[in-house]
Amino acid sequence: MSQRTFKIFRYNPETDKKPSYKTYTIEVEPSWTILDALNEIKWYHDGSLTYRRSCRHGICGSCAMQINGLNDLSCELQISNYPKDPIVIDPLPGFEIYKDLAVNMEPFYAALKRVKPWLINDNPPPGSERLQSPEEFKLMGDSIACILCAACTSSCPSFWTDEDYLGPAALLKAFRYTFDTRDEGFEDRLEALDNKHGLWRCHKITNCFTACPKNLNPTEAISKLQRKVVSEKW
Ligand code: SF4
Ligand code: FES
């Protein structure tokens, strides 16, 4: 066990005039993640601390937050990655604060819904299922691995300045279905994609690529979608 110090963003809009940081020094095990430390603080030091988590295995996407200034999954990062104290923990930027590290994810899910993130194909499946060759599957790249943690969208300056911008996560999802050879919904998604709050708001800053804990590249997916829109329209 060793002692480590965490400086954590605290804000309850119902009772606090403004946000502040609270510092906690606790005993931690060498193998602990940032999420383990938050659990220790909440369960044994300050039950009022609020944050989201569920799977603890980098699958559900609910524990994304900002750690020492970078968006990431708190359940995937070990405390030993951060040799200096304090380790500073903030909520994902760009979203309304519900309380402490828990933010309002409704705009994120609303943007996702606008790109119709499901397979669109009204034709009856040939046989028992719609098959894909390995080559066709590869067209979607790694986009199928997105866990919707919002680390990318929350790191995007274009999202910070345009609340109607779809954001990299929703655009990556649009890419995933547009480049799925079983899908026929390109025209259905075009209205959401082809405007200044959609594909054309991306300025290729690539924060999304840096922030993604799954090493996905929304910027590249957006570029491919942009080229497809241009080639289909002109
Ligand atoms: S692309 Fe990466 S950062 Fe963005 S929502 Fe998906 S997993 Fe999270
Ligand atoms: S708790 Fe599920 S991804 Fe971290």
Check residue 126 and give its pLDDT. 86
Best residue among 42, 51, 72, 73 to mutate for probing ligand 2's pocket (most ligand atoms within 8 Å of CB) is: 73
Provide the residue range defining the domain that includes 68. Answer: 2-103
Strand order in the sheet with 20-28: 20-28, 2-10, 87-90, 64-67, 70-73
> Could you say which of 37, 68, 103 is where a domain stops?
103
C-alpha–C-alpha distance, residues 22 and 106, integer Å: 27
CA distances from 3 to 9, 26, 84 (A): 20, 5, 12
pLDDT by residue for the chain (234 residues), tens digit each? 899 999 999 999 999 999 999 999 999 999 999 999 999 999 999 999 999 999 999 999 999 999 999 999 999 999 999 999 999 999 999 999 999 999 999 999 999 999 999 999 999 988 888 999 999 999 999 999 999 999 999 999 999 999 999 999 999 999 999 999 999 999 999 999 999 999 999 999 999 999 999 999 999 999 999 999 999 877
CA distances from 218 to 37, 140, 227 (A): 30, 12, 14
CATH number at residue 64: 3.10.20.30
Total structural domains in the chain?
Answer: 2
CATH number at residue 200: 1.10.1060.10
Task: Verify whether ligand 2 is closer than 6 Å to residue 213 (CB atom).
Answer: no
> Could you say which of 70, 88, 103 is where a domain stops?
103
> Could you say which of 64, 80, 103 is where a domain stops?
103
Instruction: Give yes or no: residues 22 and 128 share one domain.
Output: no
Evaluate whether 218 touches 111 at the Cβ level (below 8 Å): no
CA distances from 50 to 41, 121, 209 (A): 10, 42, 28
10 Å Cβ neighbour count for 99?
Answer: 18
The two structure tokens encoding residue 15 = 């009772």
> Which ligand is closest in space to the CA of residue 72?
1
Tell me, in angstroms, the distance from the centre of ligand 1 to residue 190's CA. Answer: 22
Query: Which residue's alpha carbon is at the smallest distance from atom 3 of ligand 2?
Result: 58
pTM, two decimal places: 0.95
Check residue 233 and give its pLDDT. 78
